[in-house]
Amino acid sequence: MAELVFFTGTMDCGKSTLALQMDHNHAARGRSGLIFSQHDRAGTAQLSSRLGLSREALEVGDDTDFWELVVDQVTHGRRVDYLICDEAQFYRPGQVEQLARLVDEMGIDVFAFGITADFRAELFPGSRRLIELADRTSVLQVEALCWCGRTATHNARTVDGVMVVQGEQVLVGDVGGELAGDDRMSVEYEVLCRRHYMRRMTAHAASAQAASPDVLPFDLDLCPLPRVR
């Protein structure tokens, strides 16, 4: 039975690496698939991992109709057994519904990969619809870590080194030098545990706090690590 599966987690938990591995595994067994991505860090029409792996992909835009695209491919003789859909949090809810239709009506497996919540700790519309419609949602077991060593649960955005919780929802990470009007700003992302996300305490802020002569070691905002049993 075909499935719509949503693989999710914070940044740095290996979603794109898993997407590339799944495509390799299915292709190695003679299955034929299509790879999709949107706003990938490596540029347009790419699916890339922070480990340095990458593959060409079909770029998803707001006007992409997955149903029409796949039907057209099949009509022209291409076999499509599965879809790899990376950065799926950026997809429109209607596009997620098209993916579900491909599973139900054409028996095509859809493997979607994306983060659940944005830098404001609010659900992406695409991720929300995937959670609502997916046959199953799988949280990746590779845990990203906050600077304090605890499991990271939130994605934080920093502008010129300062954490922000307002702004455009979609702004591709790792993009130092993003234009903002007439000024240039450095935009980066960092994963944090909930405590440090709520306190707006990034690694840079913690380092600055530790370097202050007015702060004693026991005053640092550190999280106690869980006990090992």
As annotated, the active-site residues are: 87
- List the structure tokens of 89: 């949090």
Q: How are strands ordered across the β-sheet holding 136-139?
A: 58-59, 33-37, 82-85, 109-114, 4-8, 136-139
- CA separation for the pair 204, 195 (Å, rounded): 16
Q: How are strands ordered across the β-sheet holding 154-159?
A: 162-164, 154-159, 183-192, 175-180
Coil vs helix vs strand at 187:
strand
Question: Residue 8: how many CA atoms within 13 Å on its side-chain side?
Answer: 23
- CA separation for the pair 147, 144 (Å, rounded): 10
14 touches 7 (CB < 8 A): no
- List the structure tokens of 84: 């790899």
